[in-house]
């Protein structure tokens, strides 16, 4: 990785604060955007469909989402006062809030303004609740941290595998709204292109030097995209209809409403989001070699709340730190937060210039899948590396912490209907494998090892 230029006698520049040349920053920032783009636009599509909004209003939701994601990414990575963890973090709309938002969308007495109002209230709650979550840091010794990060990576692997196969196994039928089998899922050509992307990433990572190696994921996706174009698998549908410029103004759907149950539900989702973000920040601290303090974690978690608050005013939904991009830091070895600051600028540009966004959206999911397997696997490897230093051989209690917590964390992954008879209000808690693993690991470690043991 290139070393930042510094004056003779000056202290060495931290890799996280390293300034890279502009051309490299743009390429590396675009790489981060490509990795998280599909996830970033998925939530507006789902919620907009549940609200039965016309096409132009769903497009507004997507543009607002991209603009807000870029803005909050810059705040998180750059840091402003008491906000921003100042690490290479990309921000986007969280999937944890999809269930409650779809339920609100189905209630004719609520609608989209109740969703935005609940998001605004949850954002304020998150800003003030962040210091309490960061105080939990002593409860995360290596056995807990390693277990949590491993579960994050394993949970993400399901996303990468489905991407490689061409999307989700089931899709919603346009005419009836029913779920049907995806006829394109697992098509041999999709798997072959995903394999080409994966092989390209590995070859460039092994034989590439310097900057070439650091953009191995981007080059792998470019190779997959070109092969997909040759095979006629790329569609630029909607490019002609998309405007060149789309201005996003606050509260374009009207004034938000604050329904008590919806607000309480979204605040609960905010707790889930912040616990998951805590694990992601710890993983990123390991990958970047930066020891995180309680104040660092508070600033990062507080930005999750700020992003959710801003999102409610900018016609979009609760935001979180995107775990997809953590693996990219491990794969490329590029730890500079300025890469994500530039990535945030690119996201904002996509929100303001929809034609650019349509081009990026044309990248097939199976192209992303080939890169996702290695990136999300890198998150798992980071968790395993931490567990290797957690005294698993000398302390049998640690084995129980890891075994039970990973088992519980896999429940939503392997058996999505396992908790279907539990109260719906507990959905945000019970359907998050990351949260289940976190609660299990923290409680088991406290019971078996004691809170004073590190």
Kindly report, residue by residue over 24-39, the tens digit of the pLDDT.
Answer: 999 999 999 988 887 7
Backbone dihedral region of 238: left (phi > 0), alpha (psi from -120 to 50 degrees) or beta?
left
Two tokens, residue 386: 């931490």
**Domain annotation covers residue 9:** no
Residue-level pLDDT at 177: 62
Q: Each residue of 28-45: b (16+ CB within 10 Å) or e?
A: bbbbbbbbbbbbbbbbbe
What number of CA atoms fall less than 13 Å from residue 224's CA on the CB side? 33
Two tokens, residue 111: 């609608």
20, 34 contact by CB (below 8 A): no
66, 361 contact by CB (below 8 A): no
Residue-level pLDDT at 451: 63
**Domain annotation covers residue 28:** yes
**Domain annotation covers residue 6:** no
Two tokens, residue 21: 């040349």
82, 299 contact by CB (below 8 A): yes
Residue-level pLDDT at 11: 41
Residue-level pLDDT at 13: 54
Q: Mean of the per-residue pLDDT values for the chain?
A: 86
The rounded distance, in Å, linking the Cα atoms of 60 and 227 is 32
Q: Which one, of 446, 419, 447, lies nearest residue 432 by Cα?
A: 419
pLDDT tens for 388-428 read 888 888 888 999 999 999 999 999 888 888 988 888 767 76
With residues binned 3-state (H G I as helix, E B as strand, rest as coil), the percentages for the chain, rounded to 5, are 65, 5, 30
The rounded percent of the chain whose pLDDT value lies above 70 is 94
Residue-level pLDDT at 200: 94
**Domain annotation covers residue 454:** no
5-14, 408-417, 430-439: the lowest-pLDDT one? 5-14
pLDDT confidence band for 174 (50 / 70 / 90): low
208-212, 275-279, 308-312: the lowest-pLDDT one? 208-212
The rounded distance, in Å, linking the Cα atoms of 158 and 375 is 12
- Residue ranges making up the domain that contains 137: 15-448
pTM score, whole prediction: 0.84
Computed on alpha carbons and rounded to an integer, the radius of gyration of the chain in Å comes to 21
**Domain annotation covers residue 419:** yes
**Domain annotation covers residue 357:** yes
85, 273 contact by CB (below 8 A): no
User: How buried is 207 (Cβ within 10 angstroms: 0-12 exposed, 13-18 middle, 19+ buried)?
Assistant: exposed
**Domain annotation covers residue 375:** yes
Number of domains in the chain: 1
Length of the chain: 454
Match 């992954």 to its residue by tokens.
413
**Domain annotation covers residue 119:** yes
Match 């890799």 to its residue by tokens.
15
Residue-level pLDDT at 4: 43
357: number of Cβ within 10 Å:
24
* CB-based contacts of 419, cutoff 8 Å, min separation 6: 411, 412, 426, 427, 430, 431
Average pLDDT on 140-162 reads 88
Q: Which one, of 318, 258, 262, lies nearest residue 105 by Cα?
A: 262
Residue-level pLDDT at 193: 94
* CB-based contacts of 243, cutoff 8 Å, min separation 6: 354, 355
Higher pLDDT, 352 or 7: 352
Average pLDDT on 341-347 reads 95
Higher pLDDT, 313 or 431: 313
Give CA 321 to chain center in angstroms.
6
């Amino acid at each position: 990785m290139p070393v930042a230029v510094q004056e003779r006698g000056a202290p060495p520049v931290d890799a996280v604060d390293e300034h890279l040349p502009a051309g490299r920053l743009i390429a590396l920032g675009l790489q981060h955007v490509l990795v998280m783009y599909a996830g970033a636009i998925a939530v507006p599509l789902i919620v907009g469909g549940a609200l039965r909004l016309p096409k132009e209003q769903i497009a507004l939701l997507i543009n607002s989402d991209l603009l807000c994601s870029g803005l909050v990414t810059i705040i998180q990575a750059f840091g402003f006062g008491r906000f921003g963890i100042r690490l290479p973090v990309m921000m986007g709309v969280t999937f944890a809030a999809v269930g409650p938002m779809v339920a609100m969308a189905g209630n004719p007495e609520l609608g989209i303004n109740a969703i935005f109002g609940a998001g605004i209230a949850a954002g304020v709650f998150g800003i003030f609740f962040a210091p309490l979550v960061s105080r939990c840091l002593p409860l995360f010794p290596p056995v807990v941290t390693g277990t949590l990060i491993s579960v994050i990576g394993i949970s993400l692997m399901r996303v990468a595998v489905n991407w490689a196969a061409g999307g989700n196994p089931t899709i919603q039928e346009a005419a009836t709204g029913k779920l049907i089998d995806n006829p394109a899922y697992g098509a041999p050509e999709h798997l072959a292109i995903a394999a080409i992307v994966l092989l390209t990433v590995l070859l460039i990572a092994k034989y590439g030097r310097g900057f070439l190696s650091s953009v191995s994921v981007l080059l792998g996706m470019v190779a997959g995209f070109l092969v997909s174009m040759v095979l006629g698998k790329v569609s630029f549908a909607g490019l002609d209809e998309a405007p060149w410029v789309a201005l996003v103004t606050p509260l374009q759907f009207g004034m938000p409403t604050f329904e008590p149950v919806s607000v309480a539900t979204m605040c609960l989702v905010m707790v889930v989001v912040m616990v998951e973000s805590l694990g992601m920040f710890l993983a990123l601290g390991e990958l970047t070699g930066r020891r995180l303090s309680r104040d660092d974690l508070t600033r990062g978690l507080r930005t999750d709340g700020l992003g959710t608050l801003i999102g409610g005013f900018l016609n979009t939904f609760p935001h979180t730190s995107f775990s997809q991009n953590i693996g990219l830091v491990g794969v490329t070895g590029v730890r500079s937060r300025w890469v994500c600051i530039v990535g945030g600028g690119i996201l904002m540009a996509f929100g303001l210039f929809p034609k650019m966004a349509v081009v990026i959206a044309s990248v097939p999911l199976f192209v992303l899948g080939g890169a996702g397997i290695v990136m999300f696997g890198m998150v798992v490897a980071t968790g395993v590396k931490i567990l290797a230093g957690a005294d698993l051989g000398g302390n049998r209690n640690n084995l129980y912490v890891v075994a039970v917590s990973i088992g519980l964390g896999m429940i939503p992954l392997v058996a999505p209907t396992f908790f279907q008879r539990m109260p719906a209000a507990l959905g945000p808690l019970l359907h998050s494998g990351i949260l289940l693993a976190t609660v299990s690991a923290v409680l088991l470690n406290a019971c078996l090892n004691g809170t004073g043991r590190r």
